[in-house]
Amino acid sequence: MKTATPLTIETRLYNGISIVPEPATLMFSGPMASVISRSTASQYPVTKLRVSPRIGTADRFVSLPDGIQLQCADGPLLDRLPQEGRTEGLVAWLEHRWWVALFSLMVTVMALLAGYFAGLPVAAEKISARIPIEYEKSLGEESLAWMDQRKLFMPSDLPSETQGLLEGSFRELHQGLSMDAHYRLEFRRAPAIGPNAFALPGGIIVITDEMILKTGSPGEALAVLAHEIGHVEQRHVMRHVLQNSVVATVAATLTGDASSLSLAVSGLPVLLAQAKYSREFEAEADEFAFALLRQNNISPGLFADLMERLSEGRGEKRQSWSFLSSHPVTASRVMRARQAARE
């Protein structure tokens, strides 16, 4: 009866004593395997051998029952021996195909972009609606105090009569809105910032003396305030902060815990002062303001008049925190305001 020729694999033997391997030959046929080197000649049941998983084109190891390991180049003969794991086939298949890795990378990048541009705004909108108003008002108070302490703002020089008239008109403007009970108008002088107005969390709206002096009538000042009310009512302030704080937004989404937002608001004052809302946010605030102005018998054309006046000095050097920097005037915005005035 003809005996099958033993299968042989040239290896390097590590005996666990010396760090220097020695050449060895692994032979197997039937139930037994033999390892022959200059220092040993041993036999083992084939079922006791274990071959390490395939990793690309790297060498593989054959573990023997007595702790000896054999290192050898990968080859089809090793597939005939018992394997450490059964999943290496798929992994090895993937590792040998660079186009799979490239495709996976492209899918990952596309998923991240989709999450950032589509998923993140949706998550920010839902989370902002769940933030308690007390928490939001606290953020607004802290932000205003931060800017006051650092002399970004100084006490207003406007006559008390002017402030009182604007406050009264402002109350009429926001009467009946969802945030009606929480609105507060703050006047500040800000030479370093210039003509500006912006909303803080919790319904606080700040308008600078410089902005009021730029207006040609109380109606123009109310037009600016109506725009900021639009940001508040649409929750743009918190949505903007959340969208610029991806980690905090993800944490709040997964845990449903508003306290997770601490990371998001760590740099809130500077972020709000330099806020550059998206075109979508600006358009929403504009449309809200135009409707609110019409309801109060104020022409949206006043908003366009003021925007054009503010942009007249476009060639002059402006502070980075100016109203034009955070609310850029475009021809389309002015045109929409003019159109809203005709409706």
Residue 95 has what pLDDT?
61
Determine if residue 334 is left, alpha or beta; phi over 0 gives left, psi from -120 to 50 gives alpha, anything else beta: alpha
Q: Taking 50 as the threshold, does the pLDDT of residue 155 lie above it?
A: yes
Please tell me the predicted confidence (pLDDT) of residue 19: 86
Total count of residues recorded for the chain: 343
Three-class DSSP category at 8: strand
Q: Does residue 146 or residue 165 have the better pLDDT?
A: 165
Local structure of 198: helix, strand or coil? strand
Q: State which H helix or E strand residue 37 sits in.
A: strand 32-37
What residues contact residue 22 under an 8 Å CB cut-off, 6+ apart?
A: 12, 13, 15, 37, 38, 39
228 is catalytic: yes
Give the model confidence (pLDDT) of 53-72 as tens digits: 887 778 999 999 999 999 99
Instruction: Give 216-220's long-range contacts (Cβ < 8 A, gap of 24+).
Output: 216/305, 216/306, 216/309, 217/302, 218/165, 218/166, 218/169, 219/298, 219/299, 219/302, 220/302, 220/303, 220/305, 220/306
Query: Which residue would you say has higher pLDDT here, 181 or 89?
Result: 181
Other CB atoms closer than 10 Å to residue 258's CB: what's the count? 14
Mean pLDDT of 186-202: 90
Sheet holding 184-189, edge to edge: 154-155, 184-189, 204-208, 197-200
Q: Which residue has the tokens 């040998």?
A: 96
Of the residues 210, 228, 233, 282, only one is catalytic, namely 228
**Which pLDDT score, from 0 to 100, does residue 103 have?**
79
Domains of the chain (ranges plus CATH)?
A: 7-95 (2.30.29), 131-342 (no CATH)
Please provide residue 208's backbone torsions phi and psi, each rounded to the nearest 5 degrees.
-90, 155
Mean pLDDT of the chain, nearest integer: 81
